[in-house]
Amino acid sequence: MISFMLSVEDLADTRFAISPIYQTVLSLRVLREPGLYALHLPWRRSVLGRLDAPGADLLMSLVGPDRAVADFLTPRPTEFAETFEEELAAVRRTPPDVVRRDVLAVYVRGRLPDILQEITADDDAPVLALRDAICDHLQRYWEIAIKPTWPQMRLVLEADMTYRARQLAVGGARLLFADMHPNLRWQDGVLHIDKMIGRHHVAAAGRGLLLVPSVFSYKPAPPVSPQEPPVLAYPCRGVATLWAPTPTADTAAVTSLLGAPRARLLHLLAEPLPTVEIARRLTVTPSAVSQHLKVLHATGLITRARDGRHVLYRRSPLGDQVVGQAAEQ
């Protein structure tokens, strides 16, 4: 078990960050062990055929036998939303002793793969060469596997952070962590993270806690090393919708009446959704969605209600009749 001791000051400095390099690195686990990530199988199938074998082998070797990844690959974000290139530049600056420490830490209970044996060299030159090769392959992997769908992923991450921020505002730290994952437990100022390969206690000591939602996490992922400041990547909400096909209207009459964009929107709103989530699912801009929502609301086909900072839209009983469905209770 790993635990973070958080003072009142640390809780006040608890914040969120969007990290493209976290998504990139943690997605390697999906390639390595697809059985744990059924929701991402469509993504995995679309990516595998486009990867070069040597690069993929090196990157996947960075996932240890316990599915931990080397800490230096996921540097602590210094801003709310750094670019992938900014984060990768930080990885390229990692000292050789830290690279060596972090790679060996994820193989503490398994044999180091041959492709990573240079990490054990006493000379720093082979370690630096390996670090640079890893970064080069990560850059190409990002462009092939993550960058094309990064806008959709980012919207999912932002929607999760909006939900978590509301939990924190309404119920404090206890409610914030209550439904984040069963392995998390908040008690007496300490965040306990169960079922970890590490067994250490980290005092935040004024450094705060950084929360990084991830579409590729199936459980909380703190740093492996006790020397790293408190960071927690956690599974975000809404991942099940990420690879779902864009909804389409299946009734020709509705499409003829409303037009294809508004018909698709009306079919989607069987559940209450904010504008940003609607835009993500339809792969259009929020401003385009707002125009259609305004028309549908004016005709009584959808209702709206405020939930905190967001306005939620849902199909009205009249809208249910138009699409031939009974209102969901």
What is the CATH number for 271?
1.10.10.10
Domain-embedded: residue 198: yes
**pLDDT reported for residue 139:** 97
Are 262 and 296 within 8 A, CB to CB?
Answer: yes
Domain termination residue (choose one: 179, 210, 239): 239
Rounded to whole angstroms, the maximal C-alpha distance in the chain is 73
DSSP-derived secondary structure for 13-74:
T-EE-B-HHHHHHHTHHHHH-GGG-GGGHHHHHHHHTTS-HHHHHHHHHTB-TTS-B-GGGS
Are 13 and 210 within 8 A, CB to CB?
Answer: no
Is the same domain home to 231 and 257?
no
Is the same domain home to 172 and 220?
yes
The DSSP secondary-structure symbol of 121 reads: -
From first to last of its 329 residues, the chain has per-residue pLDDT tens of 999 999 999 999 999 999 999 999 999 999 999 988 999 999 999 999 899 888 999 999 999 998 999 999 999 999 999 999 999 999 999 999 999 999 999 998 889 999 999 999 889 999 999 999 999 999 999 999 999 999 889 989 998 998 998 898 888 889 999 989 999 999 999 999 998 888 899 999 999 999 999 999 999 999 999 999 999 999 999 898 888 765 544 456 666 678 888 888 888 998 889 999 899 888 888 888 998 999 899 888 999 888 777 789 999 888 887 877 433 33
Domain-embedded: residue 95: yes
Is the same domain home to 78 and 124?
yes
Domain-embedded: residue 286: yes
Alpha carbon distance 183, 207 (integer Å): 23
The DSSP secondary-structure symbol of 83 reads: -
Is the same domain home to 218 and 310?
no
- Residue range of the domain that includes 192: 2-239
Domain-embedded: residue 247: no
Domain termination residue (choose one: 239, 266, 290): 239
Domain-embedded: residue 186: yes
Could you tell me the strand order of the sheet in which 2-5 lies?
184-187, 190-193, 2-5, 200-203
Alpha carbon distance 229, 4 (integer Å): 9
Alpha carbon distance 219, 269 (integer Å): 30
**pLDDT reported for residue 245:** 66
Is the same domain home to 287 and 201?
no
Distances (CA, A) of 100 to 20, 62, 92, 135: 24, 12, 14, 15
Is the same domain home to 90 and 50?
yes
Is the same domain home to 169 and 265?
no
**pLDDT reported for residue 252:** 63
Positions of E strands within the chain? 2-5, 15-16, 184-187, 190-193, 200-203, 210-214, 231-235, 273-274, 302-307, 310-315
Among candidates 213, 223, 209, which has minimal Cα distance to 15?
A: 209
Is the same domain home to 106 and 224?
yes
The total number of structural domains in the chain stands at: 2
pTM (two decimals): 0.76
Is the same domain home to 180 and 280?
no
Domain-embedded: residue 300: yes
Domain termination residue (choose one: 239, 268, 297): 239
Domain-embedded: residue 244: no
Domain-embedded: residue 327: no
**pLDDT reported for residue 328:** 38
Is the same domain home to 94 and 20?
yes
Is the same domain home to 53 and 90?
yes
Is the same domain home to 146 and 277?
no
The DSSP secondary-structure symbol of 327 reads: P
